[in-house]
Amino acid sequence: MSDGNLFAQQAANRRRSRILVAIFLLFFAWIGFGGDLAFYLATADAPPGAYRHVVPWFGVGTTLLGAGLAWWSWRRGPKEILWATGAWQLLEAENLQTTTLVNVVEEMAIASGVPKPSVWIVPDSDPNAFATGMDERAGHVAVTEGLLQLLDRDELQAVVAHEMAHIRNDDVKLMTLLAALVGTIALVADGSRRFLWHGGRVGAKGKGGGKKGGAAAIVLVLWVITLLLAPIVSRLLALGVSRKREFLADATAAQFTRNPASLASALRKIEDAHGPTKTIRRGAAHLCIADPLGRRLTNKQGFVADLLATHPPMAVRVARLKAMAYQYEQTGVLPEES
């Protein structure tokens, strides 16, 4: 990848990260102020002495909550993701496998030109890997025990190079924020639906009539639709972001190692492994080098697969890498990836 393309990609990721946080705050503001508006309209025609909702305390509270959660996700998102997977930090190599891992991480840090990330081991027999962090100075690379057992040195180096590409391209900030905020949105939406289910039946007795009562009903319907769709939309956003970046990380990794065939071989072995990566949950699936939830959709192409799969088809990724390997063998030059 040329420096111009790299800087453009990094700038785009930083811009998308800011937009993502803004959307997150707007979601919380709407959940709060939308509820306040519906409650205000519903109580506007209440009889004298009855409660009238005037102060938007719910909106102020949810907006402050959203700002706090966004800050927490920014500061603690990487560590929370690592904690959720049960990963433990490799501080000192203990055997040949971990020594090899530390060596290839150091090599790829030099090749990528970024500081050496901390290294983590995920206790899972399914081969997989991911990177997280908020910038290249504080990156983390995690691999499963199954990956260490399955791949040879060149293949492991290629997988680590792929994760280092995500760090160098500044993908990890956006993808880590997505993992943290998507999970938070799902939890808040679920909690709000529970509140609506239990509290709505009580509030239904005090609904007003007339135009304001009808307006309150409309706002309430829009509010409920937001709660229902927010987790789905945020999840699809995370999937779309992941798919677009995997091809670029594959190509960048091939340039780091000068060995695209090894990454193709590693992806093929990972794809042929059975079973999902049980320690990695749905909210962090887009961080991984391969779909950790089972690869039925990833193996397919078409609109549904493109919409729901966490990663592009593995066969397509392998084919592209093999084409790069063939060109490199013939010309000694790897193709530029824009």
pLDDT digits (tens, 9 = 90+) for 234-287: 666 666 565 667 888 898 999 899 999 999 999 999 988 867 778 877 667 778
**CA dihedral (94, 97, 103, 106) positive or negative:** negative
- d(Cα 243, Cα 284) in Å, to the nearest integer? 14
The average pLDDT across 160-172 equals 90
Neighbours of 329 (CB within 10 A): 10
Q: How confident is the model at residue 193 (pLDDT cuts 50, 70, 90)?
A: low
Residue 158's pLDDT is: 97
As given in the structure block, the two tokens for residue 107 are: 């090599």
Question: What's the pTM?
Answer: 0.73
pLDDT at 336 over 90: no
- The pairing of beta strand 118-122 with beta strand 129-132: unpaired
Residue 263's pLDDT is: 96
Q: What percent of the chain has pLDDT over 70?
A: 72
With the CA atoms of 45, 46, 49 and 55 taken in that order, what torsion angle do they form, in degrees rounded to the nearest 10?
-80
With the CA atoms of 265, 266, 271 and 277 taken in that order, what torsion angle do they form, in degrees rounded to the nearest 10?
170
pLDDT at 14 over 70: no
CA-to-CA separations, 20 to 73, 285, 293, 322, in angstroms, rounded: 12, 18, 24, 35
- d(Cα 135, Cα 310) in Å, to the nearest integer? 23
Residue 138's pLDDT is: 87
Q: Amino acid letter at 137?
A: R
DSSP 8-class letter at 288 = B
CA-to-CA separations, 162 to 37, 196, 246, in angstroms, rounded: 48, 44, 9
Residue 128 falls in which region: left (phi positive, over 0), alpha (psi -120 to 50) or beta: beta
CA-to-CA separations, 144 to 59, 166, 301, 315, in angstroms, rounded: 42, 18, 27, 22
Where in the sequence numbering do the catalytic residues fall? 163
- d(Cα 165, Cα 254) in Å, to the nearest integer? 10
- d(Cα 335, Cα 255) in Å, to the nearest integer? 9
The average pLDDT across 92-112 equals 94
Instruction: Please state the domain extents for the chain.
Output: 3-331
